[in-house]
Structure 1
Amino acid sequence: MVTTRPHIAPFGTAPDGTAVEVVTLARAGTTVQVMTWGATLLDYRIEGVDFSLILGSARFEDYLGPLCHYGAIVGPVANRIAGGQMPVAGRLLTLDRNEAGRTTLHGGSAALDARNWRVSAVEEDSVTLALTHPDGCGGFPGPVEITARYGLDASGALILDITAETARETCFAPAFHGYWTLDGRADLSGHRLTVAAESYLPVDADKIPAGGPAPVAGTVFDHRQPRPPAATLDHNFCLRPARGPLAPACLFETDRLRLAVETTEPGVQVYTGQQHGIALEPQVWPDSPNRPDFPSAGLRPGETYRQTSRFAVTHKT
């Protein structure tokens, strides 16, 4: 298998005046581009396919507007926190309510995807980005030292490892927020989705979990067998009750290509709101800081947070 040395190039200037860079990795027929702004997967290509399998743009400015979240690491806590409040260390904290003034979505307006990360290491088949999330930013305690390592394995699959350590007790549960397309068309009609979940989380009008897990059987959320994704999905599928070893999460496929997603996370949020791409977001269940019955999003000093996801796109024979 061939590996090409990583290439680093300028891509733009962040609002704080720092330089935004793009690192290109290539191995075993896969080429990816990773941008420092938001620790974003900018482009993902495999041999024999003439378009990116991740939605994105060649213009940095687009990521400051219509493409916010696209391909980025979102958090400190991905998804929604009810009422923009969460209990930590015996205190009820008020967070940035950046969604209709009612909920905190993906960490608020100054979250991980709206920051310029720094390149901390470049190896033959990987790049590691680092970020310090300050104490009190968006209402979250800290500071939290975060790394995101994008690497290509010997088969060309993309491995994303996220780690974090905190100086103060906090909540930390980020997610990768890329939009996938395997045929480059303007809709998802040619795709099928399979999710390794027996249950999902019904939501209320604010898309906050309404109660606990419900069976997928007999509902439009039953993706235990391949079927076209519903046009209105924005729900967490419950893969298991807690974070654990790397395990299958979902398959997304066309007649030509298959994307297999594995993760250590207990859930995967499936979002089809952008009909030309689907977001498959391995993560802790939404509103976990307020739900002691859900997988924990807590992080304490002396602990090291670790999350791993593997994204493998292959040609079907």
Structure 2
Amino acid sequence: MIFGVTRRGERAERHVLSAGRLSAAVLTYGAIVQSLEVDGTNVVLGCETLADYETRSRYFGAVVGRYGNRVAGGRFTLDGREHTLPLNNGPNSLHGGTDGFDRRVWEVADLSPASITLRLVSPDGDQGYPGTLTAAVTYTLAGDALRVDYHAVTDAPTVVNLTNHSYFNLAGKGDVLGHVLTMPAHRYLPVDADLIPTGELAPVAGTDFDFTGPEVIGARRGGAYDHCYVLDGEGPIRVAEPESGRVMEVTTTEPGVQLYTGAMLDPEATPYGPYAGFCLETQHYPDSPNRPEFPSTVLRPGEEFTSTTTYAFPA
């Protein structure tokens, strides 16, 4: 169905997927997961109108790119050539720049009752990134899970870091400070004042960042987190909401995950207030294009970028 028309005059569609206990509404605008219902309860934050997504969203449910997370100084060097990106997060470029993938209308490449594939072509020089990138994301409902598959190819060397920016609230209301998080990560990336990694992969043991055992999100730091964790590759990330008993388990092929607890959500500027939802953005590390010691995010012609993340809701 038609969801609305963008300020650029593009038509955005809304498609509803359903399978078993789950249903999801997906928009072609931003490849957004507008809603994800588990046994009838919506567990993600979203906007009701396209106008709100264009003016009041903080990446709610969107695929962010070409490079998700921050690039320091809005610049990086690849094969000896410096590339300059828009600054939209203080001195940094965030989530692909001022006109990232979250603000584009994607094309429906495939559709079935429980799955949708969306495709986007990002031209050479788009937001300062080199190479024409053809990206695709597939959302599939299967059993008790939403599976997200990413794919991208390029015609020139570039950098890619795609992720979904859904904010989850397993109660479907209130804040998420009482949610209980277990993170299979013994290291995290400390950041400077501009939230750029220092380069250290620091142990979480003995710090407020230790979620290797079940911990209430709001128990430390006032619940404020916007940090990347280095996943151990053992077991899922697990979040439990005590009152509803609802549980979400996240598995991914990515080396890291950004935990963001929505501390900066502003009820005057968005439909939600602080801590209304938490994000688990599975991805490569922030600022990797400027950090050769981090896992590479470079994609070259003839290569394929692939990534899979699954959000499961066991009964």
TM-score computed with the length of structure 1 as normaliser:
0.91
Q: Does structure 2 conserve the Cα–Cα contact (< 8 Å) formed by 1:236 and 1:285? A: yes
1:265 to 237, 250, 254: 254
Aligned to 2:271: none
Aligned to 2:173: 185
Aligned to 2:73: 83
Aligned to 1:299: 299
Shift of 1:123: 2.2
> Distance between the aligned counterparts of 1:18 and 1:185, measured in 2?
32
Secondary structure in structure 1 of the residue aligned to 2:196:
coil
CA deviations 1:33-87 (Å, max 9, x no partner) are 110011010100022x4x3100012211111122141100001111101111111
Secondary structure in structure 1 of the residue aligned to 2:127:
helix
1:41 to 23, 27, 33: 33
Shift of 1:211: 2.6
Aligned to 1:252: 239
> Distance between the aligned counterparts of 1:191 and 1:248, measured in 2?
19
Aligned to 1:309: 309
2:82 to 92, 97, 107: 92
Q: Does structure 1 conserve the Cα–Cα contact (< 8 Å) formed by 2:136 and 2:152? A: yes
Match status 1:131 vs 2:120? yes
> Distance between the aligned counterparts of 2:278 and 2:225, measured in 1?
9
Shift of 1:309: 0.3
> Distance between the aligned counterparts of 1:249 and 1:66, measured in 2?
32
CA deviations 1:71-129 (Å, max 9, x no partner) are 000011111011111111211111111112x1010010111101111111112421000
- Which consecutive unaligned segments of at least 5 residues does structure 2 have? 264-273
Cα distance, 1:68–1:172 mapped onto 2, change above 3 Å: same
For 1:43, the aligned partner's letter is S
Shift of 1:249: 4.3
TM-score computed with the length of structure 2 as normaliser:
0.92
1:107 to 70, 83, 96: 96
> Distance between the aligned counterparts of 2:56 and 2:207, measured in 1?
32
Secondary structure in structure 1 of the residue aligned to 2:136:
strand
Secondary structure in structure 2 of the residue aligned to 1:180:
coil
> Distance between the aligned counterparts of 2:127 and 2:200, measured in 1?
27
> Distance between the aligned counterparts of 1:214 and 1:63, measured in 2?
36
Aligned-residue CA RMSD (Å): 1.3
The aligned length equals 298
Match status 1:217 vs 2:205? yes
| 4+ residue runs over 4 A deviation | none
> Distance between the aligned counterparts of 1:84 and 1:110, measured in 2?
14
Q: Does structure 2 conserve the Cα–Cα contact (< 8 Å) formed by 1:271 and 1:279? A: yes
Cα distance, 1:171–1:163 mapped onto 2, change above 3 Å: same
Structure 1 window deviating more from structure 2 (228-237 vs 289-298): it is 228-237
For 1:147, the aligned partner's letter is A
Shift of 1:247: 6.2
Aligned to 1:243: none
